[in-house]
A and B are shown apart, each in its own frame.
Chain A
Amino acid sequence: MTSLPETTQRKLGLVIDLDTCVGCHACVIACKGWNDAQYGAPLSDQEPYGANPTGTFLNRVHSYEITPPHGQAQLVHFPKSCLHCEDAPCVTVCPTGASYKRVEDGIVLVNEADCIGCGLCAWACPYGAREMDKAAGVMKKCTLCVDRIYNENLPPEDREPACVRTCPAGARHFGDLGDPDSDVSQLVAARGGFDLMPDLGTKPVNKYLPPRPKDQWQETDILAPFLDPIADTPQGFLGWLDRALERL
């Protein structure tokens, strides 16, 4: 099971738009909320209200400062979850077969009943997409919300990953990246979507859309003259008050 399938029928994954992500972490919370109560062991926290809070998350948002050669520095928020790699190194290292990639849709999952918690898959993943749950002693990772996307008990509009459903900026898109005509594939083509660390040969399914170039600040001085400071020292009544108070 731990050998990777040659091909998968579909390549379900996420497209993350670094241009529109506002860094609100709503996807982090939605992900934790959904996955805390569904697939497998809950995502535990240690000392959540203590001095050193830590816990298991399947999706995390980094923030980077980009300083272009000309112009203002820009903050880019960078959500990161499992990229459901086609050549997933995390799967092949697993000694038990707990980690596997599904043939039908390419989702990379952990069968927690078989996981011995050796942590080797987390070492093998270059992206830091796997976290061992401290309480359960098993490996946790993004399931692509496999228990939502096919779930007929949910209304149709909810049959997408929790993080995608919740994102207020529309920065996360879900679909079949193996189908060139799908919305997500079109979006990737139109916006120049890219892979993370492509040289490592993991062939991530998830794609990232680059931030669009920002427009430049134009120097205009129509209003500038009116904004000049009027007087350094107050005149008239205010000047008298100032001087009077000074003397007190």
Chain B
Amino acid sequence: MHPAPSVIIFTTFSGLGFGLLVFLGLGLPPVTGWVAFVFFVIAFALAVGGLLASTFHLGHPERALKAFRQWRSSWLSREGIAAVAALIVMGIVALLAVFFDSRIAALGWIGAALSLATVVTTAMIYTQLKSVPRWHQALTPLHLVSASLAGGALLAGQITSAQILLALAGLIQIAHWARGDRRFAEAGQSIASATGLSEAGRIRAFAPPHTGTNYLLREMVHVVGRKHAQRLRIIALGLGYALPLGLILVPGASHGLGGLAVLSHLLGMLASRWLFFAQAEHVVGLYYGARGERIGAC
């Protein structure tokens, strides 16, 4: 799939923002006043900034309100509703904490649950797609949720939770890659099943339907070099999980080290998310000879 910057920024930043909101909702840390103000500004900037970035890839952003209608069937619609509900509830929690120095525990929990639900619904948008076998696996929601919570714990300064979650999220990340690499083969689709011509003989894509490119190729057929991908995986793993974990394991870690850990995690997650899209193969590529022998320039 095309790794569009708007989608990478959206999933990374809003994942991080909603992850932080989960912890703030749970009262970890139980901040009020100015400190709470800073925490909530960061959380809302990330979450809302990410959501706004996601509207950049819409053909008609002005109609975005219509997207709240189909929650019965559409994960994208559910995501929109969960996000708005989470932001409203957490907005009230923030107002109470910042201006009234007070916390209503139950409201915080509801906000945390809604924030978590937002990340889950985002993950399900990708997980549900049978047409993209790498995403269509149980580890996809686990990966996106664990990464979001690890980032949230890191931002919230919850050192112990962050240590556990970073290690866990790193392991899930590796598993998601390993499983993902096998998913296309497991899905069992090939140029033979795509064209139904398997009985006739060996099939090669001879000529594409168009001399130039088209929406399908731009959007869904993206090829990354293996070497390139391996290197990026190491960067993602190192910066996203290992380095932040190492930094917060330093006894008596200062704010400076914490900041560095957050920055490193963010950069690592951007690399991870780039790979999440760029390495995801859509079965439509089969019609264009992806994963098969090819002749000519197609």
Contact = CB atoms under 8 A, between A and B. Distances in A.
Interface of A: 1-3, 18, 25, 28, 52-57, 60-69, 73-76, 78, 80, 89, 92-98, 114-120, 122-128, 131-134, 136-139, 194-201, 208, 210-211
Query: A-B pairs with the 4 shortest C-beta distances?
Result: A117-B59, A137-B59, A60-B209, A68-B201
A59 B215 CA distance: 13
A18 B198 CA distance: 13
A53 B208 contact: no
Nearest to A59: B209
A118 B76 contact: yes
B196 interface: yes
B189 A197 contact: yes
Nearest to B284: A128
Given A54-B213, A96-B69, A118-B67, A62 B60 contact: no
B80 A95 contact: yes
A133 B214 CA distance: 10
Size range of the interface on B?
35 or more
Contact of B206 (A63, A94, A122): A63
B5 interface: no
A122 B219 contact: yes
A63 B295 CA distance: 11
A115 B60 contact: yes
Interface stretch (B100-108, B128-136, B156-164): B128-136
Given A69-B201, A116-B63, A199-B188, A61 B209 contact: yes
15 contacts: A3-B72, A55-B214, A61-B209, A62-B208, A63-B206, A63-B207, A65-B203, A78-B287, A89-B130, A93-B75, A122-B220, A126-B131, A194-B196, A197-B193, A200-B189
Given A65-B295, A96-B66, A124-B128, 11 more contacts: A2-B74, A67-B201, A89-B130, A95-B77, A97-B69, A115-B60, A127-B287, A128-B216, A131-B216, A136-B59, A196-B196
Contacts of B64: 116
A124 B200 CA distance: 29
B282 interface: yes
B197 interface: yes
Contact of A125 (B63, B131, B200): B131
Contacts, number: 201
Given A56-B215, A128-B284, A201 B130 contact: yes
Q: Is the interface of A mostly helix, strand, loop or mixed?
A: loop
Contacts of B130: 89, 126, 200-201
A95 B131 contact: no
B88 interface: no
Nearest to A60: B209
B227 to A, nearest CB: 27
A132 B215 contact: yes
A148 B287 CA distance: 29
A80 B195 CA distance: 10
Contacts of A74: 200-201
A131 B284 contact: no
A89 B73 CA distance: 10
Contacts of B193: 196-199
B214 A123 contact: no
B197 to A, nearest CB: 6
A123 B220 contact: yes
Q: Of residues B1, B128, B131, which shows the largest number of chain A Cβ atoms within 10 Å of its Cβ?
A: B131
Contacts of A138: 59-60
A2 B215 contact: no
Contact of B215 (A18, A93, A131): A131
Nearest to B4: A119
B102 to A, nearest CB: 36
B211 A97 contact: no
B80 A199 contact: no
Contacts of B207: 62-63
B283 interface: yes
A196 B191 CA distance: 10
A9 to B, nearest CB: 21
Contacts of A196: 193-196
B254 interface: no
A74 B199 CA distance: 13
B125 interface: yes
B196 A28 contact: no
A208 B199 CA distance: 14
Q: Specify which of B1, B59, B73, B80 lies most central, judged by the most chain A CB atoms within 10 Å of its CB.
A: B59
A95 B132 contact: no
Most buried by A among B1, B57, B73: B73
